A and B are shown apart, each in its own frame.
Chain A
Amino acid sequence: MNIKSNKFWVIVIAAVLALCLVAVGIWTWWRNSQPEEEGLIAVVRLDGRIVAAVDLNKVTENYTQTFSGESGNSNTVEFAPGQVRVHDATCPDQICVSQGWADRTTLLPIACLPNSLIVEVAAAQDLGLDSISR
């Protein structure tokens, strides 16, 4: 097939699209098929460093913690039983706040790129963070 033909490019672009759809499908299935178990960890990363690792199953009452990074901005993260969210932030776009609650089945980590803050939720053994969380 000629690399300059429209057909070639349609196939390439369609293949990338199909691959993405399959990836989304597999990830959605995987996230929802994991058994509920002990040790659901919320990991907060700020400027590339882990600044908090909280076992969400051990949280009994909602509480907030504020993280301020090198950018000079700050995010207030709310930890709740089984879930976590960015409650408020000083970033201009507020995407992290609108991402809402993240729990065991949430597909994407919460990301506040202007502040370099990431909140991930995963089972303890998938993170390999046992030494930190205990």
Chain B
Amino acid sequence: MNVKRLTFCALLTAIALTIFMVEAQIPLPAPIPGLKLGLANIVTVYAMFALGPRDTLLILISRVFLGSLFAGGSTLPYSMAGGLCCYLIMLLLRKLLTVKQLWVCGAVSSIFHNIGQVAMAIFITKTPSLILYLPFLLIPGIVAGTFTGLAAQFLLQRLGSRIKL
């Protein structure tokens, strides 16, 4: 990895982390654990299409790890499970979607983020009925995911050819 690329990855991680911390200050509309806008996913979707899988994994893991460190509380396993599920489906979507379809990537990856989150919660607490949370997370998640994907799409379309690594 050359210095320029490394710096760009670090910059994206810092941006994602900033978005994550600002988002954490927004009050939840409903007291549902795990419910959030997921704005930091803009960076992940953008990186997946602009930089490729390897750099995206580094950015994602750094952001999730540092984010849980800054936010406090032991929610790291949930965010990590969600993040990795989201990442795996993006590996597939990357091959299928064009740069004008990043909104799809946002929506679908948010679905898988929630699935990963809930699966980890069921595994840790050994409470199968937590699956009940899934539809309650997915409905707002898909809406928010579509918009974060769209944000990444606009970013990629405007920034695309100007970033040369």
Contacts and interface: CB of A to CB of B under 8 A. Distances in A.
A74 interface: no
A6 interface: yes
Interface string A3-23: 110100100110011011101
Given A13-B142, A17-B142, A92-B72, A111 B130 contact: yes
A53 interface: no
A13 B104 contact: yes
B31 A99 contact: yes
A24 B98 contact: no
Contacts of B125: 45, 47-48, 111, 113, 116-118
B122 to A, nearest CB: 10
Interface residues of A, number: 39
**Chain B interface, DSSP helix/strand/loop, else mixed:** helix
B139 A17 contact: yes
A49 B139 CA distance: 30
Interface in B46-87: 71-75, 78
Interface in A96-132: 96, 98-100, 107-109, 111-114, 116-118, 120, 122
Interface of B: 28, 31-34, 71-75, 78, 96-98, 101, 104, 107-108, 111, 121, 124-127, 129-130, 132-136, 138-139, 142, 146
Interface of A: 3-4, 6, 9, 12-13, 16-17, 19-21, 23-24, 27, 45, 47-49, 71, 91-93, 95-96, 98-100, 107-109, 111-114, 116-118, 120, 122
